[in-house]
A and B are shown apart, each in its own frame.
Chain A
Amino acid sequence: MKILVVDDSRIMRSIVKNTLKTMYDVDEGFIEASNGEEAFTVLENNRIDLMLLDWNMPILNGIDLVRKLRGMAEFKNLPIIMVTSEAAKYNVIEAVKAGVNDYLVKPVTEKNLYEKVKKFLD
């Protein structure tokens, strides 16, 4: 099982990783990327079961990565959870329309993360 966490903040990535550690043995299957383009390279070379994706990132931001992936046959069904600091629902709608499967609003709590990730991995 492989989880890809895409966020430009190292701290954010480690928070997500540490939270997931309490649920799964993620050391093996935990891959990090700091922007959309990096994430895309990882996706091309690995079989990923779930991607946690930040919205605002340099180079290629989250929403644009989702649009790009959903346009490609091999990533049509990749489960994506958008992690966004924008609590406004209007932005979430944009993300859902682009093709994310679910969303998480920052600050990410252990409980929320657990519940969302569980849905996709079990």
Chain B
Amino acid sequence: MISVRRLMRNLLTSGTLDTLDNELRRRVIILNLMIIAGFVMLTAFGTIALFETNVIRAIIDYALAFFIVALFVAMRIFRTFHFASYAATIAAGLVYLYIYFSPGPDSSGAVWLLSFPVIAIFNVGLRPGVVFSIVCVIVITASYVLGQIHTTFEIVNTIAGRLGSTQHSFDFVIRTIGTFIIIMLFSAFYEYVRTATQARLEEANLDLERTSQDLLNRKQQTDSIFKNVNDGIFLLNKSLCFDSEYSHALEGIINKTKLTKVSFLDILKDKIPEKAFTATADYLEMFFSPNANLELLADINPLEEAELNFQMGEGGFKTKYLEFAFARIGDEERLFKILGTVRDVTPQRELANQLLVQQDRNKKQMENLFQIIQVEPRLMKEFIADAEEELENVNAVLKSDEEDYRFILDTIYQSAHAIKGNAVLLGLETISGMLHHLEDDIRGLQDKEASWDDLFQLTVHLTEIQNELEIIRQLIDKIVSFQSSMASGSAGQRNLMLSYIERVINRLQEDLGKEVILSANRFSGDLISPRYRKTIKDVIIQLTRNALAHGIESPEERSVKNKQRIGTISIATERQDGNLTITFRDDGRGFDADKIRARAKQLAMFQNTDIDSLSNSQVIALVFREGFTSSDTATMHSGRGVGLRLVKNKIEAGGGTFKIRSAKDKYSEFVISFPT
């Protein structure tokens, strides 16, 4: 069944099927139909004529049948459809006219002729078809008229008689022509309406095609914008969920794929602080109010410079700095949407932050580095080790069950003071500054009951100091490995303790405007066992500091007193009766018992002591009591009443004893002994 239909379609379209445009296809089909019908009829007529032994008619019929078969084949081969249409139409016209004139049984040739306008118009189109039909009418009319004319020229009469349809009466011709014209007009009218409709239909179709192509182009454009733009562009509906149309970059910016119908607020939740979140929810909601003040809304955008913190698991965060902008689109309240854009400015912001941090860190590091490279690395390492030991001591107290806050604060203070002294000496300003603040904080707590919160704050400061020490340690390690790769070990290094003391002197004499030399001929570092090394070093440094700050006078004062302009500090070590004795002496102003007495009377801590009844050596001993200072202003170098107290505590903690000898304006001498 299907194959029959396909065969029919193939035959009728000359094998072109649907490849031709509609108009031409229609014509080819009509033509082929005509050809097939014509072939069948002509063959039939030819055969009939043969039976009637009308050989001429049979030959003509067969010849015509052959002609249209040839046409049919030519059409299939050459696809010259226009030529075929005209050829077939003209052939049909000629055959009909012949039949009309012949004139066939009962003049039935005229009946055939009547189908010509339909064939002509359908086959070659409106205008040529009408022209052909009119030509046909003219031929019929002319032949009738010619048949009625009797000219004086015999030859003309003969031709006219032969051609002229003398067989047809006037009435017959008139009716034939009338019917012919009516059929022609209707065919023409039908063809006109059909082609006009067809044209309009095609135009509409074309329009439609153009529009859809246009839409397609635009969609492709939007798609490509959405695909290639770096910013996040999105639409939010009234429930603040994403529309399906959003730029590809958005997914990367907010770290989430498949955003359609996802709530924007859900994305923000837990990524911005609570307060900002509530404000954002309120803010976006306001866009959907019909009387929203859009200008004002643009002004108060809470996500203008948003910081979104994305949780990365393991307690980590990835921070993104995003700039959002929102605008309302749609004219009708029902159709309101928020058009949002978001730009990721994380790299810029991070760079700016990093620069700031880096600048700060570099400044600190340069400061540290500058100091560190000037100081012998061994000294630096020792400083770090000592400082860490101090902090560990503090930490041990913090971790113990000790509940006496005063004692704890005191421990922290003394350790901080000891570290600070060395830090100042080595020029580590960041650390010494931090320690100085810590000391201030503890002093601020002197007169009140310290609370847990106070202790907490102090501990937090200690952790920061510890952290800073760690940073310096890392720096020193780098330098040491660098230096050791540069230089081979130096033999006969000077005793580290003496280097230290010389540093203290050099540094302080500049700051205090004094001139001092160190005499250490009778000093031997080898005598000091490692057990006492740190204690002795701390004590001697503190004593040196005190000597410079309080003991040794300015060069001018010394001149007035008839002393050498340059002061002398001497240290000596000695082993005696199994004891190690260290003698520290300065030729300064010595202890002035009267002055100490007067100072003690000013201090609140001695309110209940009868100062006047004490002996001179007892008065000197007051100097070692907590909170005693003879300098009125606390400077970084000394004062703060801890200097000598620290000496006393250190010696006692190390298991040693000490004696003081002093003569006013001549000298003071500390004799310190440790058991060996």
A/B contact in complex, CB under 8 angstroms: yes
Query: Which residues of A are interface residues toward B (Cβ below 8 A)?
Result: 89-90, 92-94, 96-97, 101-103
Chain B's interface: helix, strand, loop or mixed, by majority?
helix
> Does A93 contact B300, Cβ atoms closer than 8 Å?
yes
Give min CB distance, A101 to chain B, whole Å.
7
Q: Is residue B658 contacting chain A, with contact meaning CB distance below 8 A?
A: no
> Does B275 contact A96, Cβ atoms closer than 8 Å?
no
Report the Cα distance A90→B304, complex, angstroms: 12
> Does B282 contact A94, Cβ atoms closer than 8 Å?
yes
The 7 listed contacts between A and B (C-beta, < 8 Å) are: A89-B304, A90-B276, A90-B279, A92-B300, A93-B283, A97-B282, A101-B293
Q: Which of B241-299 contact A (CB under 8 A)?
A: 275-276, 278-279, 282-283, 285-286, 293, 296-297
Q: Is residue B627 contacting chain A, with contact meaning CB distance below 8 A?
A: no
What size tier do the contact residues of chain B reach?
10 to 19
Most chain B beta-carbon neighbours within 10 Å: one of A92, A93, A96? A93
Q: Which residues of B contact A103 (CB under 8 A)?
A: 296, 300
Report the Cα distance A94→B278, complex, angstroms: 10
Q: Which residues of B contact A96 (CB under 8 A)?
A: 286, 293, 296-297, 300
Top-8 shortest CB links A-B: A90-B279, A93-B279, A92-B300, A97-B282, A93-B283, A89-B302, A89-B300, A93-B282
Q: Can you list, as one digit per residue, whether each of B283-326 has a CB less than 8 Å from chain A (1) or not (0)? A: 10110000001001100111010000000000000000000000
Q: Which residues of A contact B297 (CB under 8 A)?
A: 96
Q: Which residues of A contact B275 (CB under 8 A)?
A: 90
Report the Cα distance A92→B276, complex, angstroms: 12
Give min CB distance, A120 to chain B, whole Å.
12
> Does A93 contact B302, Cβ atoms closer than 8 Å?
yes
Report the Cα distance A97→B297, complex, angstroms: 10
Report the Cα distance A96→B279, complex, angstroms: 11
Q: Which residues of A contact B283 (CB under 8 A)?
A: 93
Among the listed B293, B296, B302, which residue makes an inter-chain contact with A90, where contact means beta carbons less than 8 Å apart? B302
> Does A89 contact B279, Cβ atoms closer than 8 Å?
yes
Give min CB distance, B302 to chain A, whole Å.
5
Report the Cα distance A94→B276, complex, angstroms: 11
Report the Cα distance A101→B279, complex, angstroms: 17
Q: Can you list, as one digit per residue, whether each of B42-62 has a CB less than 8 Å from chain A (1) or not (0)? A: 000000000000000000000
Give min CB distance, B177 to chain A, whole Å.
87
Nearest opposing residue in chain B for A77, CB measure: B291
Report the Cα distance A65→B666, complex, angstroms: 82
Give min CB distance, A112 to chain B, whole Å.
12
Give min CB distance, B283 to chain A, whole Å.
5
Report the Cα distance A92→B304, complex, angstroms: 14
Give min CB distance, B431 to chain A, whole Å.
38
Report the Cα distance A83→B285, complex, angstroms: 23
Report the Cα distance A14→B285, complex, angstroms: 37
